[in-house]
Structure formats: structure tokens, C-alpha cells
Chains A and B, each alone.
Chain A
Amino acid sequence: IPDFGHKYYLQFSTEDYWTGENAGSCLATVLYPRKKSPPVVSIKCSHTKDQKEIQEEDNRLYQRIRQQTKPITGSNIPDSYGNIEPALEPAWALAVAGSSSIMWEKSTEDLGYFLAQVKSVKQWMRKDDFLEFDYTVLLHEMPTQEMISCHMRLTWLPGHPLREKHFCAPQKHRLEEGSGLGSGSATGLSEERGTNF
């Protein structure tokens, strides 16, 4: 759109992360204004699962984690060979959900991400019913090919939106370009971003 930015029209289908089953399809428009601000997104999806089914699955995941006798800890999920221990699958699942929030926030018209690996996970036990996890996740950035390390703190209770707070290590190539301040600044050590979704 001349003098304004780029508008994208998208049609895509979604699938269940574990089973690969079709989970619905979406129609969306994404508008990137010329200046670097977050895009304007409008999206409409049809879901193959109903609310009740989703709730039941959430509860099953929640119970599976609560039933563990010790706080969950782990590292390198999946390992170098692509394997995930069954006992760590729930922690992995929450990492996928939480890091999608990070990726949503970090993505731009020219930069995209994939979750490459959970470097470490540690569960914090709480007095209330919420689950709380500390993660270090590795995001694969495209097209730069960089592996970005992010620290993520995640809390969840079924029926409530997943909440996460994160801080990603500053990016090397931005440091080189000399522009000191911005979201990638090395001085921003106390900076934290997060979303509820």
C-alpha cells in the first residue's frame, strides 16, 4: 500500500502439535506499517475441537504434571538425537505454548522464528494450584540463522490464559551495527517483556 506499508492476505490450516491431526483453518490479514511498529492483525479461525474437548485435554495435561512426586527439571529437550523423554513431554508442551508467545512478539516482516530446543526447565512449586516453570529456550531465527537464547517464566492453571515473562539475550548483529538503544540493547538487562494470552 503506497506510502503506508505492506498488507498480507493469508489462508492457512492448523494441526495438532502432537498428533498432526487437522485442528482447523484460518483467514487473516496482516498489515505492516512502514515504521517499525507491531503489525495490525485480524484473524478468524474455525476450530475442529469444541471448548469441552479442549478443556478436558488441558485438565489431563495439568493432572499429569501435578501427579509428579518431584518438581520437574530437565535439559536439552529434545536431545541432540531428537529424542524427548516421555516424562518431560508435558514440560515440552508448555514450552511450545509459552515460546509461541515470545515468537509472536519478536517476529517482524523480515524476521521469523522456530522453537529449536529447551535448554533447561525447572519447575517451581507453589502454594496455590498454579503451575510455574522457569525455562531457557533456544529460538532459531530466520533468515539470520541465529540461535537466540531466551529465559522464560511461565505460569498456568487450566481455565486461565497462559502467562509468560521473558528476556532474550541481545542479538550479536545488532550490537555490531552500533545502535546502542532499542529492544536488543545490551544495557537492557533489567528489561522484561511478557504477555498474557
Chain B
Amino acid sequence: HQVLRVVPSSQEELQRLQELQGLEHLKLDFWLAPRGLGTPVDIRVPFPSLQPVKAHLEANGVSYSVMIEDVQELLDEEQREMTRSSRRLPLSTSAFNYRVYHTLDEIYAFMDMLVAENPDLVSKLEIGRSTENRPLYVLKFSTGGSNRPAVWIDTGIHSREWVTQASGLWFAKKIVEDHANNEGVASILDTMDIFLEIVTNPDGFAYTHSTNRMWRKTRSKHLGSICVGVDPNRNWDAGFGGSGASGNPCTETYHGPYPNSEPEVKSIVDFVKAHGNIKAFVSIHSYSQLLLYPYGYTTTPVPDQQELHELSAKAVAALSSLYGTDYKYGSIITTI
């Protein structure tokens, strides 16, 4: 359907338009009916009537413009908008949609809901603030004890890797569910705590929503360069500045001016050091389907290379046993 606009400039033109109103079989829908000279007349014309209507107007020298080329398109777009906004207000983590990507606000709201629903298991910690002063939140899953040995998991350190933040949300819910059903990771929670940072790079994440879907780094600014951001995963104090990282602020793998220059990274380092009892540190990225252990910057094997390798083999086999998902594994430097 198209919507045509006519601005009648003479009595004859006005009459022609009024005539059209009487022709029922054309099934015209006047959004703005003919009123007087100079006032626009808007007509929604169904496809089969387009030809005759246009012909009628042209034959009588009535000029018209096409206001809306395709009404259906607009309706579809609106529908999409509505489905997008209708999920802005889930009232519980059970009503939350884990199958769509969410905004930063939605994820923060999720965290608060999860804590409110499971106050004896989940708490929210603020470990610092990002460059743009966004809070850096970590969810703590604990059944008690004092400073128990713990597992750390982070997602979203690279903001464009959207499937990782989405996975973090899902992990959070899964941990809670497993605990409730006494299966899966429930046994781990008997003796250990789990720390989960879902949006490890909130500034970058906000930027992927507002401006550039492909943004990877943080949003810190640096003297002497117009380029923004540091690759947080090159900012750690391990083999800093080595191969795989770049000293150029305009590149995607810029390591930053010095290790832990990024508050997003420093907060984690401070937290882990202060805790003193983190036993496993897992960082999630996309895309690829790889399970990797150190090192990425040297071929020298880690002291526990054999144990890590066997552990990876078991993890990958367990993963595959469910749906045949295929992951490769090994040290970063030999596998990537």
C-alpha cells in the first residue's frame, strides 16, 4: 500500500478528490480527507487501486506525491521496535529472555534481580569503576564459610564479543539453578565460592550499543594520540608488550602505556591479590571454540602443563558428550 498526498489548488482538483471518496470499490482510506484548497489530502491506496488512482489524477492534471512508498515496511519496523521494547521489563530472572542480546542496563537489572531472588547464595560486589566511571560488578556465589577457595570467571572483557556477556548471564542463572536442584556445580559450592564478572568492560559494551558494534577495547584516552582505548587483554602484567600486542594506540591490540593502566584490569588484579585464595581463573572470549591455557607470549611450557592438558582433555570430552560440540585445546601459543 502507498500513501499519496495531494494538495488541491483549484475547485476542480478538490472535486476530483471528492469523487474518489465515493468510489467504494477502490477501497481508498483517506487519512486526511479533502477539506479545502491548500490543505493536504492524504490517501492510503491499496496495491490493486494504485494504477487507476494515479491514472485518474494524472489524466486530470492533479499533481500528487508519494508520501509513503510501502506501508507494510513501516508496520514491520514498528513491530520490531515493539518486540524490542517489550522485553525491557522482565520482573524476574525466570521471565528474563536468555535468547536475545541485552543492554548494559538490562544486565545490571538482571544482577539485582538475581541477588534479590537468592539472597542466601548470591551477592553483588563492586570491585572498582571503569574509565567512564561505570561500576564494575562481580557476582559472588557462596554457601558460606570464610574466604573459601574460589573460581573466577569473567565474560565481556572484549566488548564486541556479545555472545560472552550473554553466556555470563546464562552461567549466573545456571549456577543458581544447579544449587537449587543439587546437581551440576552444586557440589563445588559446598566447598568453594564462584566469582562471576559478566560485563568486564562496560564502557566498551555501552559503546557497542550506542556507536560501534565492532568496538573491542576500553574507552580510555591517551596523551599524544587521537585514538581511544586499550586492549584489556594485553594490559596484564605477564609478558607485557610482547608479541601479540601492539604499542600503537590506534590498533586493536594496543597494550596500553603500562601494565594495569586500565581500571577494568587493575580492579581485577587488586581483587584477586586481596582475596588470596583464587584457585582457577577463567576468561571467556568469542569466536572460535577453543579451550586454552598459558602461555600466549612464550613457548616455554607452564610448570603444570601436563595437568592442564589432561584437565582440558576431560573438559572438552565432557562438553562434547552433550551435543557433539567440538572444541580444540592446548596452550595459547601452540593452538592459536
Partners in one complex: yes
Interface, chain A (partner B; CB < 8 A):
76, 80-81, 116-117, 138, 143-147, 172-173, 176
Q: Is B322 interfacial (CB 8 A cutoff)? A: no
Residue of A nearest to B212 (CB): A147
Q: Is the interface of B mostly helix, strand, loop or mixed?
A: loop
Q: Is the CB of B100 within 8 A of A146?
A: no
Q: Is the CB of A176 within 8 A of B214?
A: no
| Residues of chain B in range 216-232 having any CB-CB distance to chain A below 8 Å | 216, 231
Q: Is the CB of A143 within 8 A of B244?
A: yes
User: How far, in angstroms, from A81 to B162 measured CA to CA in the complex?
Assistant: 9
Q: Is B260 interfacial (CB 8 A cutoff)? A: no
Q: Is the CB of A145 within 8 A of B100?
A: no
Residue of B nearest to A175 (CB): B250
Known A-B contacts: A80-B213, A117-B213, A144-B252. Give 18 more (CB < 8 A).
Answer: A76-B213, A80-B162, A80-B208, A81-B100, A81-B101, A116-B214, A138-B214, A143-B253, A145-B231, A145-B253, A146-B251, A146-B252, A147-B252, A172-B250, A172-B251, A173-B246, A173-B251, A176-B248
A116, A143, A147: the one within 8 Å of B336 (CB):
A143
Q: Is the interface of A mostly helix, strand, loop or mixed?
A: mixed
B336 contacts across to A, CB distance below 8 A: 143
Q: How far is the CB of B321 from chain A (nearest CB, A)?
A: 21
Q: Is the CB of B216 within 8 A of A145?
A: yes
B252 contacts across to A, CB distance below 8 A: 144-147
Q: Is the CB of A173 within 8 A of B248?
A: yes
Q: Is the CB of B248 within 8 A of A172?
A: yes
Q: List 19 A-B contacts (CB under 8 A).
A: A76-B213, A80-B208, A81-B100, A116-B214, A117-B214, A138-B214, A144-B246, A144-B251, A145-B216, A145-B231, A145-B253, A146-B252, A172-B250, A172-B251, A173-B246, A173-B248, A173-B251, A176-B248, A176-B251
A146 contacts across to B, CB distance below 8 A: 251-252
User: How far, in angstroms, from A173 to B252 measured CA to CA in the complex?
Assistant: 10
Residue of A nearest to B69 (CB): A70
B209 contacts across to A, CB distance below 8 A: 80
Q: How far is the CB of B86 from chain A (nearest CB, A)?
A: 15
A138 contacts across to B, CB distance below 8 A: 214
User: How far, in angstroms, from A138 to B212 measured CA to CA in the complex?
Assistant: 13
Interface, chain B (partner A; CB < 8 A):
100-101, 162, 208-209, 213-214, 216, 231, 244, 246, 248, 250-253, 336
Q: How far is the CB of B107 from chain A (nearest CB, A)?
A: 15
- A-B pair count, CB < 8 Å, reads 37
B251 contacts across to A, CB distance below 8 A: 144, 146, 172-173, 176
B101 contacts across to A, CB distance below 8 A: 80-81
B246 contacts across to A, CB distance below 8 A: 144, 173
Q: How far is the CB of B162 from chain A (nearest CB, A)?
A: 8
Q: How far is the CB of A112 from chain B (nearest CB, A)?
A: 11
A147 contacts across to B, CB distance below 8 A: 214, 252
User: How far, in angstroms, from A176 to B101 measured CA to CA in the complex?
Assistant: 36
User: How far, in angstroms, from A34 to B101 measured CA to CA in the complex?
Assistant: 46
Residue of B nearest to A177 (CB): B248
User: How far, in angstroms, from A183 to B287 measured CA to CA in the complex?
Assistant: 29
User: How far, in angstroms, from A172 to B208 measured CA to CA in the complex?
Assistant: 21
Q: How far is the CB of A116 from chain B (nearest CB, A)?
A: 7
A172 contacts across to B, CB distance below 8 A: 248, 250-251
A116 contacts across to B, CB distance below 8 A: 214
Closest 5 CB pairs of A and B: A145-B252, A80-B213, A176-B248, A172-B250, A147-B214
A81 contacts across to B, CB distance below 8 A: 100-101
A176 contacts across to B, CB distance below 8 A: 248, 250-251
Residue of B nearest to A142 (CB): B336
Residue of A nearest to B251 (CB): A173
Q: How far is the CB of A113 from chain B (nearest CB, A)?
A: 14
B208 contacts across to A, CB distance below 8 A: 80
User: How far, in angstroms, from A138 to B231 measured CA to CA in the complex?
Assistant: 20
User: How far, in angstroms, from A135 to B248 measured CA to CA in the complex?
Assistant: 29
Q: How far is the CB of A119 from chain B (nearest CB, A)?
A: 10
A144 contacts across to B, CB distance below 8 A: 246, 251-253
A117 contacts across to B, CB distance below 8 A: 213-214
User: How far, in angstroms, from A117 to B214 measured CA to CA in the complex?
Assistant: 10
User: How far, in angstroms, from A80 to B166 measured CA to CA in the complex?
Assistant: 14
